[in-house]
Amino acid sequence: MSLRSIDKPAVCGGVPVFAPPLPFNKPTLPSFDSVRDEIEEVMRSGQLTNGLNVRALEEQAAEIFGRPAVAVASCTAGLMLTAKALGLTGEVIVPSFTFFATTHALIWNGIKPRFADISVDTWNLDPAAVSAALTPAVSAILAVDVFGNPGEKEALELIAKENSLTLVTDAAHALGAESAGRPVGSFGDAEVFSLSPTKTVAAGEGGLVSVADEAVGEMIRQGRDYGNSGDYDCRFVGLNARMPEINAILARKGMDVLPDIVARRGRIQAAYRENLAELPGLAWQVVKKGNTSSSKDISVLVDEYRFGMSRDALARALEAEGIPTRTYFSPPAHEQTAYKGLFSAGDLTVTDRVSSAILNLPVFSHMGIDQVDKVCAAVKRIVAHRSSTGG
Ligand SMILES: *Cc1c(COP(=O)(O)O)cnc(C)c1O
């Protein structure tokens, strides 16, 4: 089948570009042969959770971050335990342009999210908006490295220092990313990562917390074990947030190839941008000079008027081509039904604008550049026929 842009889009009765459909996302896993012996050893030993593989994963992560790391059952649990261990109270400044787990973790701790707007170019927390959101009730900033793009870490560290605030990052997307030559995982009081199947390193489920202070790490270690310090007398209320050993084996294998994963995803991101550069009305996330994104997601803002069709019409036409897309984060956190009536949102003009225009394109670490080219060819033929594609 030819992929010339003059071909009829599938939404107008043409042949879909991908049949069967392309996955939106798919974990890149080690071969079973490469983990067989280690899994067998876990089963033989009967040490199924929180054992030698978890320890080894924590050491491997600590080596990358240059400071202690604690493995947990998920990023959500890691954020909940981090907020507890760092003693966050009152209000915490957080973006609304994030996955709802960020804010859920605060609310589980009885903390009120205080939403601040994002920058229009990076889609990360805007330091000026953070300063404007400060109140005496604010105890911390919880930033997010959206789609793996490192936020304004140094600016936020300065605001935190000047106002005696704790600084935490939800770095669920950013394992393998770098800011100003330093790995994400080395900033603020804690940075929390996810190892769930859609992230850059997939362990099945899991999370990592990098901490500046080993005492905080020790409290998270106890917290993942119900808060038990070892004498069966809990000094605080924890969770069961232990990481299973088999998941730690997968995580270690993923961490072994992390630089390669980030490089591959970077090439995929560059190919999308180059290929679609000729189309008007598409805006990409800006990665600040000196930073490296993990390219966990590859996303674009669709300007309905300049592009000539709406984000949603483009998504529908791509779906017909066998190209699934997503609209993360829409609705943004402050508009989640679960939070209705709980918080006043403040000025989130940029969040609302980005959220209503965002389109996340398919990406996985072993995606071929030929597949990227086919997705882009589909976008172009949809655009060429936009007057008849319901745009
Ligand atoms: C995936 C994700 C989480 C939650 O991670 P889990 O490991 O699934 O708990 C938190 N924050 C953000 C920004 C995420 O994308």
What string of DSSP letters covers 181-192?
Answer: TEETTSSSSEEE
What's phi and psi for 103, nearest 5 deg? Answer: -80, -35
The model carries a pTM of 0.97
**Is any ligand 1 atom within 6 A of the Cβ of residue 355?**
no
End-to-end CA distance of the chain: 25
What string of DSSP letters covers 25-38?
Answer: -------HHHHHHH
- The number of the ligand 1 atom at minimal distance from the alpha carbon of 102 is 11
**Is any ligand 1 atom within 6 A of the Cβ of residue 101?**
yes
> Judging by beta carbons within 10 Å of its beta carbon (0-12, 13-18, 19+), is residue 272 exposed, middle or buried?
buried
For ligand 1, atom 6, the nearest C-alpha belongs to 75
Tens digit of pLDDT at every position of the chain (391 positions): 444 545 799 999 999 999 999 999 999 999 999 999 999 999 999 999 999 999 999 999 999 999 999 999 999 999 999 999 999 999 999 999 999 999 999 999 999 999 999 999 999 999 999 999 999 999 999 999 999 999 999 999 999 999 999 999 999 999 999 999 999 999 999 999 999 999 999 999 999 999 999 999 999 999 999 999 999 999 999 999 999 999 999 999 999 999 999 999 999 999 999 999 999 999 999 999 999 999 999 999 999 999 999 999 999 999 999 999 999 999 999 999 999 888 878 899 999 999 999 999 999 999 999 999 999 999 999 999 987 765 5
CA-based radius of gyration for the chain: 22
What string of DSSP letters covers 308-369?
Answer: SS-HHHHHHHHHHTT---B-TTSS-GGG-GGGTTT------HHHHHHHHHEEEEP--TT--H
Cβ atoms of residues 162 and 273 within 8 Å? no
- Which ranges constitute the DSSP H helices of 163-230? 214-223
In angstroms, the Cα distances linking 31 to 35, 162, 249, 304, 357 are: 7, 49, 12, 43, 38
**Is any ligand 1 atom within 6 A of the Cβ of residue 332?**
no
Element at 209 (helix H, strand E): strand 207-211
- The number of the ligand 1 atom at minimal distance from the alpha carbon of 198 is 1
**Is any ligand 1 atom within 6 A of the Cβ of residue 285?**
no
Token pair for 280:
């008007």
- The number of the ligand 1 atom at minimal distance from the alpha carbon of 195 is 7
What's phi and psi for 185, nearest 5 deg? Answer: 115, -5
